[in-house]
Structure 1
Amino acid sequence: MAVMGYLRDRMGKIVAGVIGLSLFAFIATEAIKSGGSFFKGDNNELGSVGDEKILLDAFNTSVEQNTAQFKQQSGQGRITPQITSYIQENTWNQLVSQAILKKEFDKLGLTVGGDETQEMTTGNNPSPQVIQAFSDPQTGKFSHENLLNAINAIKGLKEDDPQKIRWKEFVINLIDGKKTEKYMSLVANGLYVNSLDAKDSYEGKNKLANLKYAVLEYNSIPDNKVTLTDADYSNYYNAHKGEFKNQQETRDISYVSFNAAPSAADSAAVKGQLDKLLPDFSKSTNDSLFVQINSETKTPLTYQHKGELDPKIDSIIFKQNPGFIYGPYLSNGSYKLSKLVEARMSPDSVKARHILITPTESGGTLEKALARADSLKKLIESGKATFASLAPVFSIDKASGSKGGELGTFGRGAMVPAFENAVFDGKKGEIKIVTSQFGVHLVEIEDQKGSSKVVKVATVDKVLSASSNTQSAAYSKAQAFLISLSKDNFDAEAKKAGLKIAEANDIAGIASSLPGLTDARDLVRWVFKASKDDVSDQVFTVGDQYVVARVTEVKPKGTLSLDLVKKQIEPAVRNEVKGKILSDKFAAASSGSSSIEQIAQKAGTKVLPLQNIVFANPVIPGSSAEYKAIGTAFGLSIGKISKPIIGQQGVYVVSVNSFIVPAPLTNAVREKEQIGQALLQRSQGLILQALNDKANVKDNRAKLL
């Protein structure tokens, strides 16, 4: 029983390990973006990598596991649509990367032998994941003996036992992780940094330049003074074509929304409900029951310190006497009434130990559990036994029982209310019997520290929501607008109705929210089923908004055409055209000038100094990174004036006053190691991206999720 209990305690960590070991951290990122268009086929086929299918059922199972792990690690019980989308994206990336790497492993013949597997699990140097899963959560100490006992217990289980299945999955993922290590090691062994690389890196970080520059900024020319031609757009597009690669299909929409948020009348009606409850709440002698009957949120009454109450009442309640009622007040989308039930001084923390007894373990009834607790209490009080000796034998809480029942020191909010009230309201040295939802506790209060005021507040709330009349009015307006639409008149009809058109661009197929619209998954799903210029076939409910949308652009996976990026690149194209004008201005000013000061004066600007600039950090203080300008300066001879340089903020001319050359690099080993480490970190993500691009990944998530 002890081994199986230990094993059950560790299964949570093993499950987390199975999830975490699916891929290493460099795989479980958003670095890999997959795309693809939907094709007719199996509705359970979420996507594929080459000829290997990724099935919807398997994906959903992985999402559930990753969600459980997220909740465990973050302590969050509620998962927002945004977090769900993030987990889904990471899960997809994991499954795609696993499929891609499996093909690479098979191609290279990478294996993990039986001896390696044994060493990772039960050997003298087990995997860090095994150590983590089988370490004491209190001390962090790893027990090799406990590990072996647990594995022997697993071997005795039936093949379909969930614990045995999880262990097998855990080992399989350990093996996959080891294969990935080997694969990445092969890559690392192919990276090489020579002495010239080290020298260039050293000088780039340590060679200093003192220079001066003049700049004609782009904003010195009004935008309306520049006319952009098709040739200007084409030239810029062709020069930067590699920047317009779409990793996955995206879409743009325009939409109008109709507000169905609670109206002033709705607010008054909800507030009025609490106004009617106020007299009865004031006279109530059972505030806990009053809350349970009248409040939409059934919050138990517990003692709280200053700073733990709703900010709207925290500073007010602590100055009042019991019976004081504040409200109705609006907080977090609800109207509330709060009544100060009790105020008292209380310890800040308590040290306690317990023995937990359940009816099941003591004969089947609560009375028998209470009787056993009373018997143990008498043994301790009579001196015939100690608390520490009884806890390992009688407590079903084995984690604390093995330590004599010790729970450590804790503050309010750490324990269930019944247990908390007993130890905080009792006295140091007192032994008490307490019943909670977990069973019967025999509790000893070992110590109490500190003292501060706590309050018990009863709060009745009513959620502020839109009435059916408010919702119906907003929906009717949205429906009337929808009926008036065709593919060609969206903008005109919106203008006629006095509606503001909003835009959402570059929407991914699995997006769960859009700018200004949360929980918009249904709308996004329609967007990816529609074609360009299609108007939504229904009014979508998104939070407290009713939305009607039109697809304005479909941007396929791959290099986007000039037409699709024309609006996006317009500012850069305009600056490029301005750059030519300003370059000509500097060139004209350079004619007959012998110094940068003369050039600046003729061009109508001034010369500014720059001290101690390094090549590796090409930032002009007060401006931005100017790679071309600073890079040009480091290639100039001292005193030479550069030609006009088209930069980020404007057009520059520079001249170097002096260089401060660092001492020669005598030992390149450390520099090589730093460069090599940076290359290694970059290579892992780049390899996966390259493999992904080559792998023929098809992604149907936009239609199936």
Structure 2
Amino acid sequence: MAVLSKIRERSMFLIIIIGLALFAFVLDPSTLGDFFDSSKVNEIGEINGEAISRQEFANELEAYKQQSGGRISEMQAAKTVWDNIVRKKIYKNQLEEAGITIGEADIWNEVVNSQFVQNSPEYQNEAGLFDEAKFKQFLATEKENKTQLWSQWSAYMNQIRDNAERNTYNNLVTAGLGASLKEGEAAYMIDNVKLNAQFVYVPYTSIADSLVKIKKSEVEAYIKNNSEQFKVEASRDISYVQFNITPSAEDEQAIKNNLSGLIEDFKATKDDAVFLSENNSDSSLNPNFQFKSSVNQEIANQLFEGNKGDVVGPYKDKNAFKISKVLEVSQMPDSVRASHILIPFAGSQRVAPDVTRTEEEAKKLADSLLNVVKRSANKFGQLAKEFSSDLGSGAKEGDLDWFNYSRMTPAFRDYAFTGKKGDIGVVKTPFGYHIIKIDNQKNNQKVLKLATYTSTIVPSEATENEMFRTAEEFALAVSKENKFYDVAAEKNYTPKPAIGLKSLDENVPGIGNQRQIVSWAFSSDTNVNDFKRFDLEGSYVVAFVTGSEEKGLMSVEKATSTVRPILTNEKKAAMLKDKLNGSDLEAIAKANNTSIRTASNVTLKSPTLSGVGVEPKVVGAMYNAEINKLYNSVEGSRGVYAFKVTNKEIPTALPNYDANRKRIAESRKSSTFKMYEAIKNSSEIEDNRALMYTN
């Protein structure tokens, strides 16, 4: 009885569901199966009737993200993967329709003939020749064990197939693309026929916009008649107020006071590195000497007039407060000129592949060369040319020219700047052993080693809480009155717009990558006039949905700004046409209180009228006009014209137009991207990725 009771309670619900399904069937019988087909839920899109499952998309997405090493965002990866799938399916479909298939043998030949496969010792026999059977066995083992290496090989072979399909199709199409000599001749004429004309020009601006009335129905009709220009994706418009969590004056003073309390302990400590670490300094111990020009200039004099153990600060340096302790005082040149002979060993940085000597052998050779140049310094240049692996300086007898303190690797730098002119010694660096000769030094000056405690200026918890309360109060005020802009104006906030957000966008203008805001704006639960507070890194944002555009044709409201100028000029042209009727240009010019203008050496390639601007439609009409015949009421981009072509200068005929023909043919054959875009535009593509990324 309980079961029957439940069925009765649910009966109306079932009737409604079945009724809706039958209604859909009446409208389109093919939809009835889809109504109850749960597999549709698992589709991410469709390309020429072939469904793309979520699983297929997810697999390729994951593979691509691993391949890119996580260097791109989720949405960037999703776009690239979708574009790759679309391209692959479209080319495959085109080849299938043409009855052409890329066979396994084609793919295999491409793989085994790759240089990296042919030259790999792993796939070679005892004679050092490529062994195809050995390579096949390697792949079979990897496939059987389902290794990561097999996944990579499989992806590589799939990529070869995709490339082969694309290249095969493009080659077949471009093989049929050429150009005739007649086309070559026409192109030559278009580039070189020069026109001289007289014209009268009445600009559209001569009629005030206020005299032209554009109806909403006219805009709507224009959109429908030019629907290809006004197709749009779904979009959302939002406006937002951002509350940045920035440190207050009180926060800065508290940080400064905290550093003041550390000064005596900082002076007394014997281990500065431990002190910085234990007291949570935002900077660690700097082992390098510092010149006066490289420290904060506000406290530079105080530091360089101090002695070892002195502490200076607190002082503000960009976005932090600091205290600095003098650890060591010395004298040092600001620049050095030195020469070196570099002896690398196997394993050192940037070492050439043919270097096989061990570290011990490199050290022994360096010491041996050192003994030679110490006995006879004039041999240094010749030995540098003979032994140094630094070919640039070696060609100049080891000379490195002048360099400053920050240029060289630390060990090399320390020897060059703490030594004296004429010193020669061996120094080990990550690049090998260097025999270094200090040739010269200049600008000797005082330098310091400093220990600097750094405290970055960040907002306190109280400041963050205060900003949260401010954002929350604004959100609550909006919720009570549902007047986002009014409340913002009342509180002197300036809302910022983000117009035309797409469902897969990540970036919100003004606040950067904020996918969560875009996702919320496109949620099925979010409507126009809805708002929400978002907790971002370093700020709070209250966002408000101001507009919604669904996929299809652009709304009249959105299109008006584009369509109105076009319709306005069309109506102005109709009003001006009557004014440009006359028996000759003189009469037309007089009737319009203007003058006759001259166009000289105008070509279709450069359709610019002097004093007016670019007018391709008018110059095109001139190109086909009869000489000295008056043409009235010709509509251009900037106004209405009457003109008379006074001369058409035909260029000297060429013996043949093969060069022009070849140029046209090559241009067509290189337009594979345009070919793909044309195929893509004619394909039926349904993209439902947004369902995966909006809640």
- Return the TM-score normalized by structure 1: 0.67
Residues of 2 paired with 1:593 and 1:121: CA distance? Answer: 76
Residues of 1 paired with 2:208 and 2:264: CA distance? Answer: 67
Q: Which amino acid aligns with 2:85?
A: L
Match of residue 229 from structure 1? 215
Pair 1:644 & 2:633 matched: yes
Match of residue 256 from structure 1? 241
Counterparts of 1:45-194 in structure 2 under 5 Å?
Answer: 47=45, 49=47, 50-53=50-53, 54-67=56-69, 85-107=75-97, 108-112=99-103, 114=105, 117-118=108-109, 120-123=110-113, 126=114, 159=142, 160-163=146-149, 165-194=151-180
Residues of 2 paired with 1:416 and 1:172: CA distance? Answer: 45
Q: Residue 479 of structure 2 aligns to a residue in which SS?
A: coil
Q: Is the 8 A contact 2:193 2:651 kept in 1?
A: yes
Q: 1:626 aligns with which of 608, 612, 615?
A: 615
Cα offset, 1:622, TM superposition:
7.5
Counterparts of 1:380-459 in structure 2 under 5 Å?
Answer: 381=367, 406=389, 417=410, 430-433=425-428, 442-445=432-435
Cα offset, 1:252, TM superposition:
2.3
Q: Residue 191 of structure 1 aligns to a residue in which SS?
A: coil
Q: Residue 504 of structure 2 aligns to a residue in which SS?
A: coil
Structure 1 residues 683 and 378: alpha-carbon distance in aligned structure 2, compared to 1, 3 A threshold: closer
Counterparts of 1:182-581 in structure 2 under 5 Å?
Answer: 182-246=168-232, 248-263=233-248, 265-266=250-251, 295-296=281-282, 328=315, 331=318, 344-347=334-337, 352-355=342-345, 373=359, 377-378=363-364, 381=367, 406=389, 417=410, 430-433=425-428, 442-445=432-435, 461-483=454-476, 484-485=478-479, 489-530=483-524, 533-536=527-530, 538-557=532-551, 559-561=552-554, 564-581=555-572
Structure 1 residues 64 and 357: alpha-carbon distance in aligned structure 2, compared to 1, 3 A threshold: closer
Q: Which amino acid aligns with 2:647?
A: S
Match of residue 389 from structure 1? none
Residues of 2 paired with 1:88 and 1:428: CA distance? Answer: 61
Residues of 2 paired with 1:611 and 1:299: CA distance? Answer: 74
The gaps in structure 1 that reach 5 residues or longer are 1-38, 72-78, 135-144, 359-371, 387-402
Q: Is the 8 A contact 2:339 2:436 kept in 1?
A: no
Residues of 2 paired with 1:122 and 1:338: CA distance? Answer: 64
Question: What's the CA shift string for 1:390-416, capped at 9, x where partnerless?
Answer: xxxxxxxxxxxxx99946669998987
Cα offset, 1:509, TM superposition:
1.9
Cα offset, 1:587, TM superposition:
2.7
Residues of 1 paired with 2:204 and 2:506: CA distance? Answer: 39
Residues of 2 paired with 1:181 and 1:456: CA distance? Answer: 64
Q: Is the 8 A contact 1:210 1:612 kept in 2?
A: yes
Cα offset, 1:207, TM superposition:
1.8
Residues of 2 paired with 1:633 and 1:306: CA distance? Answer: 73
101-110 or 295-304: bigger deviation? 295-304
Report the aligned-residue RMSD. 5.2
Q: Which amino acid aligns with 1:432?
A: V
Residues of 1 paired with 2:306 and 2:611: CA distance? Answer: 59
Q: Residue 505 of structure 1 aligns to a residue in which SS?
A: strand
Q: Is the 8 A contact 1:351 1:408 kept in 2?
A: no
Residues of 2 paired with 1:273 and 1:256: CA distance? Answer: 34
Q: Is the 8 A contact 1:423 1:445 kept in 2?
A: no
Cα offset, 1:171, TM superposition:
3.8
Q: Which amino acid aligns with 1:255?
A: Y
Match of residue 13 from structure 2? none
Residues of 1 paired with 2:92 and 2:537: CA distance? Answer: 42
Cα offset, 1:279, TM superposition:
9.0
Q: Which amino acid aligns with 2:479?
A: L
Q: Percent identity?
A: 21
Q: Is the 8 A contact 1:253 1:549 kept in 2?
A: yes
Cα offset, 1:425, TM superposition:
7.3
503-512 or 208-217: bigger deviation? 208-217
Residues of 2 paired with 1:265 and 1:211: CA distance? Answer: 76
Match of residue 670 from structure 1? 659
Structure 1 residues 594 and 695: alpha-carbon distance in aligned structure 2, compared to 1, 3 A threshold: closer
Q: Which amino acid aligns with 1:95?
A: I
Q: Is the 8 A contact 1:232 1:573 kept in 2?
A: no
Residues of 2 paired with 1:695 and 1:449: CA distance? Answer: 74
Q: Is the 8 A contact 1:250 1:554 kept in 2?
A: yes
Cα offset, 1:177, TM superposition:
1.5
Structure 1 residues 168 and 487: alpha-carbon distance in aligned structure 2, compared to 1, 3 A threshold: farther
Cα offset, 1:242, TM superposition:
1.6
Cα offset, 1:524, TM superposition:
0.5
Q: Is the 8 A contact 2:634 2:641 kept in 1?
A: yes
217-226 or 632-641: bigger deviation? 217-226
CA radius of gyration, larger in: 2
Q: Residue 296 of structure 1 aligns to a residue in which SS?
A: coil
Structure 1 residues 379 and 257: alpha-carbon distance in aligned structure 2, compared to 1, 3 A threshold: closer
Q: Residue 568 of structure 1 aligns to a residue in which SS?
A: helix
Residues of 1 paired with 2:368 and 2:237: CA distance? Answer: 78
Match of residue 368 from structure 1? none
Structure 1 residues 629 and 433: alpha-carbon distance in aligned structure 2, compared to 1, 3 A threshold: same
Cα offset, 1:663, TM superposition:
2.1
Q: Residue 167 of structure 2 aligns to a residue in which SS?
A: helix
Residues of 1 paired with 2:663 and 2:226: CA distance? Answer: 31
Q: Is the 8 A contact 2:411 2:428 kept in 1?
A: no
Question: What's the CA shift string for 1:480-521, capped at 9, x where partnerless?
Answer: 333333896444444444443432222122212122121211
Residues of 2 paired with 1:675 and 1:353: CA distance? Answer: 58
Residues of 2 paired with 1:621 and 1:273: CA distance? Answer: 72
Counterparts of 1:31-50 in structure 2 under 5 Å?
Answer: 47=45, 49=47, 50=50
Residues of 2 paired with 1:416 and 1:610: CA distance? Answer: 67
Q: Residue 647 of structure 2 aligns to a residue in which SS?
A: strand
Cα offset, 1:615, TM superposition:
0.9
Cα offset, 1:42, TM superposition:
9.1
Structure 1 residues 592 and 518: alpha-carbon distance in aligned structure 2, compared to 1, 3 A threshold: same
Query: Number of residue pairs matched?
Result: 596
Match of residue 588 from structure 2? 599
Q: Which amino acid aligns with 2:159?
A: N
Residues of 2 paired with 1:431 and 1:204: CA distance? Answer: 73
Question: What's the CA shift string for 1:290-349, capped at 9, x where partnerless?
Answer: 776664255966689999x79x97x9989x969798994564x65678999886324589
Q: Is the 8 A contact 2:338 2:440 kept in 1?
A: yes
Residues of 1 paired with 2:633 and 2:92: CA distance? Answer: 52
The gaps in structure 2 that reach 5 residues or longer are 1-36, 121-126, 349-357, 373-385, 393-399
Residues of 2 paired with 1:478 and 1:469: CA distance? Answer: 14
